[in-house]
Amino acid sequence: MITRARLLPVVAATAAAVAFLAGCGGDQREGPARSVSSAPVSTPAVGPPVVEVTPDGLADAVTLDRVMGHVRAFQQTADNHGGTRASGTPGHAASVDYVAGLLRTAGFEVTTPEFGYQRFDAGPVELTADGDKIDAHVLEYSAGTGGKSVTGKPVEVGALGCAPGDYPPAVRDSVAVVTRGQCTFADKARTAETAGAVGVVVVNNEPKPMLGSTLGPDDRPGIPVVGISSDDGQRVRSSSEVSLSVDAETTPVTTRNVVAETRTGATDDVVMAGAHLDSVVEGPGMNDNGSGSAAVLETALRLGSSPRVPHRVRFAFWGGEEDGLVGSTEYVRGLDAAERRAIALYLNFDMLASPNGGYFTYDGDDSEHQGAGAGPGGSDGIERVFAKFYADRGIPLGPNDFDGRSDYGPFIAAGIPSGGVATGAERKKSKEQAEMWGGTAGEPFDPNYHSPRDTVDNVNTESLAVNAAAVAHAVATYALATNGPDGVPAVGVRQRAEG
């Protein structure tokens, strides 16, 4: 699952920013030194496809033992490649080969489309004014300061800093202080750099921190750029010297998605299920998201490449999710109008085995009235399918807002009904949730989130068993019928709505 710090990457070929609502999360760069081994990856035996596809039958076939076999294979893959499966690394490439190889052997039509983008990694930021610390946040794609600080007199820029004439001669070898508004942050920063500034402090136009702001990956300035609140703006402006240190770098990444499709069923009414295959750089990502990838993979293998169902089923394993939903965004962006209409719905599975987890499904009808609104028409039916599955097992469900932190985001933006389940990330479990699901109140759902500790040893197998069955149950439900009380708009309705 993506964090706020990585919500705005840009696919290199298009230079268009991914802009979905931010979640919460922190950058964790520390961790033990990683060794590289060459231990072979154990591929679990692949079970035969179910003879007759039914929701309960496919759910029963997707067993914990088989799902954990894939999780262990992902862990071995990470162990063999420096402890990570992040996009652009050998660990992710090996994960792609593992998934694609099993699906090809099972007879699926498989592609592994390649794409590129710029990954921005930021660490600590320190801004001081006359020695006093100021709360500052680096703008995405800012330059770093190379392990040292830049120091200079703060010089207030005229107007909003959008024109060269706004920058007085005193800006040279100083830190430009510019107010937010009118033109882009990148325009302000490039103009300040041309005027000779050694750094830029952007003052927000309201009394709150500047979070989630970006310069964009193209034609970036070579000086550090940070943002502060309007309340802190006067402290900086009135100081005699500011010092700025930024730990940040931008790296070009090339990686792949895996897309596999059955060979039977209607091609104009496709059921799609997906999970991101990449981890963060800092760890192997067994819960986030080896768990979802393993459950979707095993569901595909037990469904089989030629099931006797009326609908084509497509499985996706996304790259670049942790850097801003890049793989899924690139995929949806590449669909033409007919291909978008042909996707009946998208099911997303991200973090199914949090150690202190709960049971959440996306709030398709926005009945909770929190955060983002309802999903596209039909998302409410997907929510009901999951609600019934868990209710039948005596498990209460909690609502999960469509906050844009996972790969359903691009599908919702394209008007495709979406849903899925999850077990929680870095948010802390409430007392009421602990009473409902067990676990420890006041602790994160996943205390190992985005860290080297997200290993196979910390996977919640009890949750994974239930949630993997839910993945299979939902896929089979919609492979058999996309209409009905919990269905989605028919192809013709989708076509009329778009046209």
Catalytic residues: 321
End-to-end CA distance of the chain: 33
Q: Residue 97, by phi and psi: left (phi above 0), alpha (psi -120 to 50) or beta?
A: alpha
Cβ-Cβ contacts under 8 Å for 338 (sequence gap 6 or more)? none
Which residue matches tokens 């084509």?
Answer: 312
204, 229 Cβ separation under 8 angstroms: yes
349, 498 Cβ separation under 8 angstroms: no
Cα separation, 464 vs 45, in Å, equals: 19
- How is residue 228 written in tokens? 């502060």
Cα separation, 304 vs 47, in Å, equals: 10
- Buried b vs exposed e over 184-214: b needs ≥16 C-beta within 10 Å? ebbbbbbbbbebebbbbbbbbeeeebbebbb
Cα separation, 11 vs 13, in Å, equals: 6
363, 399 Cβ separation under 8 angstroms: yes
Q: How far lies 152's CA from each of 148, 198, 228, in Å? A: 13, 8, 17
Q: Which residues pair with 313 in a beta bridge?
A: 271
272, 346 Cβ separation under 8 angstroms: yes
State phi, psi for 322 to the nearest 5 degrees.
Answer: -70, -15
**Which of 65, 94, 72 lies closest to 82 in space, CA to CA?**
94
Q: Which helix (H) or strand (E) holds 178?
A: strand 175-179
